[in-house]
């Protein structure tokens, strides 16, 4: 148990909506930590002070910061409601397949929310924060890069609307949205200075043959002739001195993955809950920190649980990943592509290492798969626990596999930690 002082961060002056609280409007800030838990291995609960504060000084230039800090430039779009029950796992308290509570997610994370007087009784802090339409593909119709400006992206609007209108819908025909123009669009969305894959082809190299190659690539995808290459394994240093393994895919694999991400994102952006901030269009780590600050300041949060899933990307279970995807995706050709990427493996020290679990960090498809996996394993469950078992106010902020839970009461924090450990242990056992 630790007592934390106000956060060492900067946000612009703003007014916190006090009507959402049945009592005090502010609680102390916390200092983010990154304790790892091996699904989970270590978690911490910290007690807050009772100091209040609404107006804070703004940073001189938040955009130049190389570290995570609380930039106030986007506070108006930092927080949303998550009010969807969880999915249950077999053998446990939750189920995975075909439950209305899974499909009927009422969240629309990319639609504008205009601030209004919130309810009187304790609700999540998300309800009081204004948020504009998310940037990029998650929101309005995207612009094309081709000369005709007519890209396959505009055809995805129908999928987006269908996904929002029917939470039970499974999409049986998606591959035809992977068109040559979408592949070109996806190529120009890639990082131009990224390292080359096992074939040694860089982004600049491929650009020179893009328009002569794209139609053949399109044909291979739709006839089943497309072959996935193994990723090139490299290691980068982490802040704690450890090494993080990355998988560098070939440019052509990145193009196809990016195209599939564009198609699937039109479905899943409407499903993801509001407290999920990692790897989503129009959201960043600064938005997650802003949301956490607002939640702590505007709610009676006295206890913090900081959790990090150890080696998450490396331990994703392939069978469960495919089962989660099948809640919404029934196009076997899309599922086959994703399975190929999961099983492709890596080239390390000149030899190919098969992949029995995990998805390579650095792969274009991996962030979306990670969010889908955690949506079913953690987000829906945590939100349901908050609704059914919490006796005080609870806030949740997740960025990728880093999660922060805030509790009004110590008993709720301890009970949730025990439940989280049990759920993760149960899920690992099923994997």
Q: 263-281: per-residue pLDDT in tens?
A: 999 999 999 999 999 999 9
Return the closest-CA partner of residue 48 out of 319, 404, 356, 317.
404
- pLDDT at 218 > cutoff 80: yes
- pLDDT at 261 > cutoff 90: yes
**For 285-344, what is each residue's pLDDT tens digit?**
999 999 999 999 999 999 999 999 888 998 999 999 999 999 999 999 999 999 999 999
pLDDT higher at 403 or 40: 403
Average pLDDT score over residue span 7-21: 33
Least confident of 37-41, 172-176, 319-323, 363-367: 37-41
Confidence of residue 151 (pLDDT cuts 50, 70, 90): very low
The pTM of the whole model exceeds 0.85: no
Average pLDDT score over residue span 245-266: 95
Average pLDDT score over residue span 72-81: 38
- pLDDT at 251 > cutoff 80: yes
**For 384-425, what is each residue's pLDDT tens digit?**
999 999 999 999 999 999 999 999 999 999 999 999 999 988
pLDDT of amino acid 236: 86
- pLDDT at 137 > cutoff 80: no
- Measure the CA–CA gap between 43 and 100, rounded to whole angstroms: 32
The pLDDT mean for the chain works out to 74
% of the chain with per-residue pLDDT over 70: 64
pLDDT of amino acid 426: 81
Average pLDDT score over residue span 198-226: 95
pLDDT higher at 284 or 131: 284
Strand partners, 346: 231, 353
Confidence of residue 431 (pLDDT cuts 50, 70, 90): low
pLDDT of amino acid 26: 37
- pLDDT at 284 > cutoff 60: yes
């Amino acid at each position: 148990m630790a007592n934390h002082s106000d956060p060492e961060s900067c946000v612009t002056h703003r007014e916190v909506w006090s009507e959402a609280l049945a009592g005090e409007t502010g609680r102390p800030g916390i200092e983010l930590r990154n304790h790892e838990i091996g699904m989970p291995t270590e978690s911490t609960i910290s007690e807050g002070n009772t100091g209040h504060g609404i107006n804070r000084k703004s940073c001189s230039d938040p955009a130049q910061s190389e570290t995570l800090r609380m930039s106030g430039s986007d506070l108006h779009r930092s927080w949303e409601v998550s009010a969807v029950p969880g999915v249950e796992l077999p053998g446990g308290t939750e189920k995975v397949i075909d439950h209305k509570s899974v499909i009927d997610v009422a969240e629309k994370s990319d639609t504008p929310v205009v601030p209004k007087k919130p309810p009187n009784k304790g609700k999540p802090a998300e309800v009081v924060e204004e948020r504009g339409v998310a940037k990029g593909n998650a929101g309005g119709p995207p612009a094309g890069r081709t000369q005709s400006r007519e890209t396959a992206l505009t055809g995805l609007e129908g999928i987006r609307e269908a996904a929002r209108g029917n939470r039970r819908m499974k999409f049986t025909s998606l591959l035809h949205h992977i068109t040559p123009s979408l592949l070109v669009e996806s190529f120009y969305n890639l990082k131009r200075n990224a390292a080359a894959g096992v074939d040694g082809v860089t982004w600049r190299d491929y650009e020179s043959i893009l328009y002569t190659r794209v139609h053949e690539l399109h044909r291979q995808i739709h006839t089943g002739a497309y072959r996935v290459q193994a990723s090139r394994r490299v290691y980068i240093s982490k802040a704690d001195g450890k090494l993080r393994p990355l998988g560098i895919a070939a440019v052509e694999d990145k193009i196809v993955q990016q195209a599939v991400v564009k198609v699937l994102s039109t479905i899943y952006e409407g499903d993801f809950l509001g407290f999920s901030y990692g790897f989503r269009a129009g959201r960043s780590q600064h938005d997650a920190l802003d949301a956490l600050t607002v939640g702590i300041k505007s709610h009676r949060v006295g206890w913090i649980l900081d959790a990090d899933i150890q080696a998450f990307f490396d331990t994703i279970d392939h069978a469960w990943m495919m089962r989660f995807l099948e809640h919404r995706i029934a196009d076997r050709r899309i599922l086959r592509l994703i399975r190929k990427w999961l099983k492709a493996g890596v080239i390390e020290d000149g030899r190919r290492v098969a992949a029995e679990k995990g998805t390579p960090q650095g792969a274009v498809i991996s962030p979306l798969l990670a969010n889908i996996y955690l949506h079913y394993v953690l987000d829906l469950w945590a939100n349901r626990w908050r609704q059914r078992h919490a006796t005080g106010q609870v806030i949740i902020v997740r960025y990728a596999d880093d999660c922060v839970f805030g509790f009004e009461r110590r008993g709720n924090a301890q009970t949730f930690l025990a439940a989280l450990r049990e759920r993760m242990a149960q899920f690992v056992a099923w994997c």
